[in-house]
Amino acid sequence: MDLAFTKEEQAFREEVRAFFRDNVPPDTRRKLVEGRHLTKDEMVTWWRILNKKGWGVSHWPKQYGGTGWTSVQHYIFNEELQSYPAPQPLAFGVSMVGPVIYTFGNEEQKKKYLPRIANVDDWWCQGFSEPGSGSDLASLKTKAERRGDKWIINGQKTWTTLAQHADMIFCLCRTDASAKKQMGISFIVFSMKSKGVTVRPIQTIDGGHEVNEVFFDDVEVPVENLIGEENKGWDYAKFLLGNERTGIARVGVSKERLRRIRDLAGKVESSGKPIIQDSAFREKLAACEIELKALELTQLRVVADEGKHGKGKPNPASSVLKIKGSEIQQTTTELLMEVIGPFAAPYDVHGDDGSNEAMDWTAQIAPSYFNNRKVSIYGGSNEIQRNIIAKAVLGL
């Protein structure tokens, strides 16, 4: 047992840190620190800087543009990225559809899609959830019918994150209605510009526009847009969701937010003195920091385990990451609310791209708190995570 990073790993951390310092546009960083939404341009600009450096799809296999880093290096990279902070790569392309394509796609699909994912020439979105299919995803109803050399797609997806920016969607569609529900699903990709695709915004409780409803009305998709085998889509979806085990804890994000809380708590006054001097507040902050330290260590255990024994058999501790990671993220936004107190109230509806520089930064704190309620719901709600632990780990 050894907690220390090697000299090489420490040097790597310095290299990553220096790159962020020199290359993340300062305005992008400031907006992230203040909990603002970024414009599409701001995100894409940064991702292309990252891709030019060769770090855009760092965890992909080398032949597709990956870095060949060790699991510890990936961990360091993610932690530094999250805590700098800089925008994380667009998960839908880089972490989700990309790995499905290079693992299950044919050569033509790899050639066609992977470089464009890496450079965000295509913005991808995820067509999984439906109005009637949340945690019970396999009950989905969106239908793809084979007609000649085309799929005809009809149905509706929802909670489609940033679909308003998207060029492409990867979509779970029912291709065999007679099969058992998991067995009749296929994984199909297509252009969001296709005729018959309609995107309708959903305004969330924070006032923002991150998610959408997407309707498909006789959308025609070339047959070659099926990834892998017909009716095997559920397997690819499970692969996709299981792919990103350690990033989900978002330890770096919470670290960065805790630093900000400590900084603000030294400035904002309560009862005539900075709120950090209030022992009740200080202890709450410490409690959260301790939880986060425990989570960081749990994450390191999983990372070290993957590095040593491969990703084949997941460490049981990995199921802790989503539950605790989301709880801690939520606690940090609650603490921010507490620091800002009555100044959490001012509200200003921001524009469609989420940017409205005119409003005071404090107005972002309550929306961030409201918005972060999502983290214990998405990606398999925390209740589903508990089902998974009960079944897969405890054998109940």
Partner 1 sequence: MDFDLNEEQRLLKESIDGLLTDSYDFESRKKYMAEKGGWSKTVWLKLAEQGLLGLPFSEADGGFGGGGVETMIVMEALGKALVLEPYLATVVIGGGFLRHAGTDAQKAAHVPGIIDGSKTLAFAQLEKNSRYDLFDVTTTAKKKDDGWVIDGEKFVVLNGENADTLIVTARTKGNRRDTTGIGVFLVPANAKGVTRKSYPTQDGLHAADITFTGVEVGADAAIGNPEDSLALIERVVDEARVALCAEAVGLMDESLKTTVEYIKTRKQFGVAIGSFQSLQHRASDMFVAAEQARSMSMFATMANDFEDAKERANAIAAAKVQIGKSAKFVGQQSIQLHGGIGMTMEARIGHYFKRLTMIENTFGDTDYHQRRVADSGGLV
Catalytic site positions: 244
Least Cα distance to 281 among 289, 34, 368 occurs for 289
Q: Which is nearer to partner 1, 122 or 305 (CB)?
A: 305
What is the rounded distance in angstroms from the CA atom of residue 250 to the CA atom of residue 34?
Answer: 17
What is the residue whose two structure tokens read 């489609």?
160
Q: Which is nearer to partner 1, 32 or 323 (CB)?
A: 323
Least Cα distance to 181 among 138, 132, 142 occurs for 138
> Per CB under 8 A, does 96 bind partner 1?
no
Candidate list 304, 337, 359, 377; residue touching partner 1; CB under 8 A: 304
Least Cα distance to 240 among 170, 342, 181, 168 occurs for 170
With contact defined as beta carbons under 8 Å apart, do 162 and 125 qualify?
A: yes
Length of the chain: 396
Q: Which is nearer to partner 1, 103 or 330 (CB)?
A: 330
What is the residue whose two structure tokens read 């107005």?
363
Provide the mask over 65-84, with x wherever binding to partner 1 is found by CB under 8 A and - wherever it is not.
Answer: -------x------------
Residue 388's Cβ-count burial label (10 Å; 0-12, 13-18, 19+) is middle
**Choices 31-39, 229-237, 355-363, 387-395 (CB under 8 A): range interacting with partner 1:** 387-395
What is the rounded distance in angstroms from the CA atom of residue 392 to the CA atom of residue 396?
Answer: 8
Using CB under 8 A as the binding rule, the residues of this chain from 263 to 292 that contact partner 1 are: 279, 282-283, 285-287, 289-292
* Shortest CB 3 distance to partner 1, Å: 4
**Choices 152-160, 207-215, 314-322, 355-363 (CB under 8 A): range interacting with partner 1:** 314-322
- Pairing mode, strands 197-202 and 226-227: unpaired
Question: 217-255 b/e with 16+ CB inside 10 Å = b?
Answer: eebebeeebbbbebbbbbbbbebbeebebbbbbbbbbbb
Candidate list 79, 206, 305, 306; residue touching partner 1; CB under 8 A: 305
> Per CB under 8 A, does 334 bind partner 1?
no
Candidate list 153, 258, 363, 375; residue touching partner 1; CB under 8 A: 258
What is the rounded distance in angstroms from the CA atom of residue 130 to the CA atom of residue 126?
Answer: 11
Q: Which is nearer to partner 1, 272 or 395 (CB)?
A: 395
> Per CB under 8 A, does 191 bind partner 1?
no
> Per CB under 8 A, does 227 bind partner 1?
no
First to last CA, the chain: 31
Q: Which is nearer to partner 1, 207 or 307 (CB)?
A: 307
Q: Which is nearer to partner 1, 91 or 317 (CB)?
A: 317
Structure tokens of 126? 């995820």
Candidate list 241, 300, 337, 359; residue touching partner 1; CB under 8 A: 300
Q: Which is nearer to partner 1, 3 or 349 (CB)?
A: 3
> Per CB under 8 A, does 295 bind partner 1?
yes
**Choices 106-114, 129-137, 175-183, 315-323 (CB under 8 A): range interacting with partner 1:** 315-323
**CA dist list (Å): 278 to 282, 283, 284, 339:** 6, 9, 10, 11
What does the binding site for partner 1 look like in residue numbers (CB under 8 A)? 1-6, 9, 72, 255, 258-259, 262, 279, 282-283, 285-287, 289-295, 297-298, 300-301, 303-305, 308, 316-317, 320, 323-324, 383, 385-387, 389-391, 393-396
